């Protein structure tokens, strides 16, 4: 199902007007709430500028739009590349796939991860485009979008180019730099082999044009590496909204969503649908508060050391509340509503019981609606009602409990699951004459 922002931010149209982008030296760009944002509110809707399907799904999902293909159309020349439609095939063949065709397996086997997206970003435009704007692409502008007359679109390659790459600040080791150099040379050869660059080098030395291409490519590889999130699809085991198994199928770069920083306890969650990503507030976000995404496992399932080890590759040290206050993982945090330390509540002692009763009533309404009326939640009305009831149950918990608390995490996850059920790309198993296939559900 497609979703559109009702009131897009005029300068950052992939965000709603509830989101403001700010810049601070040393911190870069980041997003804050322009006004109070409610739980469940859609605050971002973005289509990736580049995406790549993981090799495992390259025979079932379209190389161009990443959606599971009902009737896959193969590339004429590559055995491991399919498209969902003639439109997707034509689009890919006239742009990026022209420069990967016959080499898809080679690139996949090179195992270069997100760097592949850097190559793809480059081949979205002809080489003459970069030559004409060479000075721009060889310089850096990590403040793009901050000028008051600039409209920052995720589809604009200039904005992909402006993404943070931690140039000069990363503590780079020789093996890492050597690896990057090797991959640049490998991809540069591919650009030449596929006719993207036709310049001739002399006596084995790289030509000036090749050096320019290598520098842009290297920067794009880093832009993709630091600004990529995974793309998922949902495997539905049955019709129940709560039976979603999330499967990673590829990775994408969204120059707008990449402006949202990390927290180990984020207030925003993503829902993937092909190249599209929708972002919802999963907590109430007060005016002026930073909007945060997550780049590793949340604090509830991963301890401080494991998270920081994982985040080190993104070149920053997280200072979210979970990290600063060293919150324990899920099994060690509060789970009950009553009898907690007064500091675990937002309300004074004399109001706790009444709020706990409101929580129980909200929960009962939610579970009875799911059980009796719409467990399957097929119709739009049923899905809307389930979202509404889960949101109000979460809100009642938010009024009473301080973080961290198991019930807050549980209801945030429930709401995320419901949003996935409504908006994510989904597949289910279908059996014909003894053969089981995955088919898209809508
Ligand atoms: Zn497609
Ligand atoms: Zn091909
Ligand atoms: Zn953290």
User: Which uninterrupted H or E stretch holds 281?
Assistant: strand 276-281
What confidence score (pLDDT) does residue 201 get? 73
What confidence score (pLDDT) does residue 321 get? 96
How do the residues of the chain divide into helix, strand and coil, expressed in percent and rounded to 5? 40, 20, 40
- Expressed in angstroms and rounded, the spacing between residue 188 Cα and the centre of ligand 1 is 27
Work out the mean pLDDT of the chain and round it to a whole number: 92
Ligand closest in space to the Cα of 275: 1
pLDDT band at 229 (very low <50, low <70, confident <90, very high): very high
- Expressed in angstroms and rounded, the spacing between residue 187 Cα and the centre of ligand 2 is 17
- Residue 373 clears pLDDT 60, i.e. is over it: no
The pLDDT tens digits of the residues spanning 272-311 come to 999 999 999 999 999 999 999 998 899 999 999 999 998 9
Q: Are 303 and 408 in contact (CB under 8 A)?
A: no
- For range 6-23, the mean pLDDT: 97
What confidence score (pLDDT) does residue 233 get? 94
Comparison of pLDDT for 252 and 140, the residue scoring more:
252
Q: What is the DSSP letter of 201?
A: P
pLDDT band at 442 (very low <50, low <70, confident <90, very high): low
Ligand closest in space to the Cα of 71: 1
pLDDT band at 171 (very low <50, low <70, confident <90, very high): low
Distance (Å) of CA 139 to CA 49, 67, 162, 210, 391 = 20, 35, 9, 17, 46
Q: Are 145 and 152 in contact (CB under 8 A)?
A: yes
- Residue 144 clears pLDDT 90, i.e. is over it: no
- Residue 243 clears pLDDT 90, i.e. is over it: no
59: tokens are 């025979």
Ligand closest in space to the Cα of 293: 3
65: tokens are 């739009």
pLDDT band at 172 (very low <50, low <70, confident <90, very high): low
- For range 328-341, the mean pLDDT: 94
Comparison of pLDDT for 396 and 430, the residue scoring more:
396
- Expressed in angstroms and rounded, the spacing between residue 124 Cα and the centre of ligand 2 is 16
- Expressed in angstroms and rounded, the spacing between residue 135 Cα and the centre of ligand 2 is 33
- Distance (Å, whole) CA 308 – CA 318: 7
Ligand closest in space to the Cα of 307: 3
265: tokens are 């306890």
- Expressed in angstroms and rounded, the spacing between residue 103 Cα and the centre of ligand 3 is 40
- Expressed in angstroms and rounded, the spacing between residue 275 Cα and the centre of ligand 1 is 9
- Expressed in angstroms and rounded, the spacing between residue 100 Cα and the centre of ligand 2 is 7
What confidence score (pLDDT) does residue 167 get? 72
Ligand closest in space to the Cα of 308: 3
430: tokens are 């279908």
- Expressed in angstroms and rounded, the spacing between residue 103 Cα and the centre of ligand 2 is 8
What confidence score (pLDDT) does residue 1 get? 63
What confidence score (pLDDT) does residue 98 get? 94
What confidence score (pLDDT) does residue 137 get? 95
The pLDDT tens digits of the residues spanning 72-128 come to 999 999 988 999 999 999 999 999 999 999 998 899 889 999 999 999 999 999 999
Lowest mean pLDDT among 152-166, 248-262, 331-345, 370-384: 370-384
- Expressed in angstroms and rounded, the spacing between residue 195 Cα and the centre of ligand 2 is 14
pLDDT band at 374 (very low <50, low <70, confident <90, very high): low
- Expressed in angstroms and rounded, the spacing between residue 328 Cα and the centre of ligand 3 is 12
For 419, residues 6+ apart whose C-beta sits below 8 A from its C-beta are 40, 269, 271, 278, 280, 387
What confidence score (pLDDT) does residue 59 get? 92
Lowest mean pLDDT among 80-94, 335-349, 366-380: 366-380
Q: Which residues surround ligand 2, an ion (CB under 5 A)?
A: 75, 77-78, 101
- Distance (Å, whole) CA 136 – CA 403: 45
Lowest mean pLDDT among 140-149, 258-267, 274-283: 140-149
pLDDT band at 166 (very low <50, low <70, confident <90, very high): confident
- Distance (Å, whole) CA 188 – CA 209: 11
Ligand closest in space to the Cα of 83: 1
Question: What is the percent of the chain with per-residue pLDDT over 90, rounded to a whole number?
Answer: 75
- Expressed in angstroms and rounded, the spacing between residue 332 Cα and the centre of ligand 1 is 45
Query: Do the strands 261-262 and 292-293 form a parallel or antiparallel pair, or are they unpaired?
Result: parallel
Ligand closest in space to the Cα of 105: 2
Ligand closest in space to the Cα of 292: 3
- Residue 170 clears pLDDT 70, i.e. is over it: no
Ligand closest in space to the Cα of 86: 1
- Expressed in angstroms and rounded, the spacing between residue 231 Cα and the centre of ligand 1 is 15
Ligand closest in space to the Cα of 425: 1
What confidence score (pLDDT) does residue 203 get? 74
What confidence score (pLDDT) does residue 168 get? 63
- Expressed in angstroms and rounded, the spacing between residue 118 Cα and the centre of ligand 2 is 19
- Expressed in angstroms and rounded, the spacing between residue 442 Cα and the centre of ligand 1 is 14
Ligand closest in space to the Cα of 77: 2
- Expressed in angstroms and rounded, the spacing between residue 64 Cα and the centre of ligand 1 is 5
- For range 397-416, the mean pLDDT: 97
Q: Which residue has the tokens 């009763």?
A: 357
Ligand closest in space to the Cα of 304: 3
Q: Are 220 and 121 in contact (CB under 8 A)?
A: yes
């Amino acid at each position: 199902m497609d979703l559109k922002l009702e009131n897009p931010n005029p300068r950052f149209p992939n965000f709603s007007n509830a989101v403001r982008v700010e810049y601070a030296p040393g911190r870069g760009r980041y997003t804050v709430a322009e006004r109070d944002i409610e739980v469940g509110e859609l605050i971002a809707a973005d289509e990736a500028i580049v995406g790549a399907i993981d090799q495992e799904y390259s025979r079932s999902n379209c190389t161009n739009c990443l959606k599971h293909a009902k009737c896959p159309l193969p590339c004429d020349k590559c055995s491991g590349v399919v498209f969902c439609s003639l439109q997707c095939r034509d689009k890919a063949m006239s742009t990026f796939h022209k420069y990967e065709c016959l080499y898809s397996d080679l690139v996949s086997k090179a195992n270069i991860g997100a760097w592949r997206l850097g190559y793809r970003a480059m081949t979205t435009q002809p080489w003459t485009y970069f030559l004409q704007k060479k000075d721009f692409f060889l310089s850096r502008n990590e403040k793009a979008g901050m000028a008051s007359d600039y409209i920052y679109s995720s589809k604009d390659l200039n904005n992909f180019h402006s993404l943070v790459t931690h140039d000069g600040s990363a503590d780079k080791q020789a093996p890492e730099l050597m690896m990057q150099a090797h991959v640049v040379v490998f991809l540069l050869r591919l650009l030449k082999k596929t006719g993207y660059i036709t310049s001739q080098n002399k006596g084995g030395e790289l030509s000036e044009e090749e050096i320019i291409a290598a520098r842009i490519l290297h920067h794009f590889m880093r832009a993709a590496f630091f600004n990529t999130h995974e793309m998922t699809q949902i495997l539905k085991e049955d019709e129940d909204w709560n039976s979603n198994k999330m499967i990673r199928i590829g990775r994408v770069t969204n120059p707008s969503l990449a402006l949202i920083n990390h927290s180990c306890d984020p207030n925003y969650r993503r829902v993937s649908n092909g190249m599209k990503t929708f972002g919802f507030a999963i907590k109430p976000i007060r005016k002026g508060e930073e909007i945060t995404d997550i780049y590793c496992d949340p604090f509830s399932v991963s301890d401080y050391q494991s998270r920081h080890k994982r985040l080190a590759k993104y070149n920053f040290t997280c200072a979210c509340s979970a990290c600063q206050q060293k919150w324990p993982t899920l099994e060690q945090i509060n789970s009950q509503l009553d009898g907690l330390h007064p500091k675990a509540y937002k309300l004074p002692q004399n109001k706790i019981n009444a709020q706990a009763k409101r929580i129980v009533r909200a929960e009962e309404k939610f579970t009875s609606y799911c059980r009796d009326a719409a467990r399957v939640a097929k119709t739009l009305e049923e899905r809307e009602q389930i979202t509404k009831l889960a949101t109000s149950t979460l809100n009642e918990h938010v009024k009473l409990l301080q973080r961290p608390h198991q019930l807050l995490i549980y209801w945030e996850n429930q709401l995320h699951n419901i949003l996935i059920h409504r908006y994510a790309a989904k597949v289910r198993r279908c059996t014909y004459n003894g053969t089981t296939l995955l088919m898209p559900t809508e």
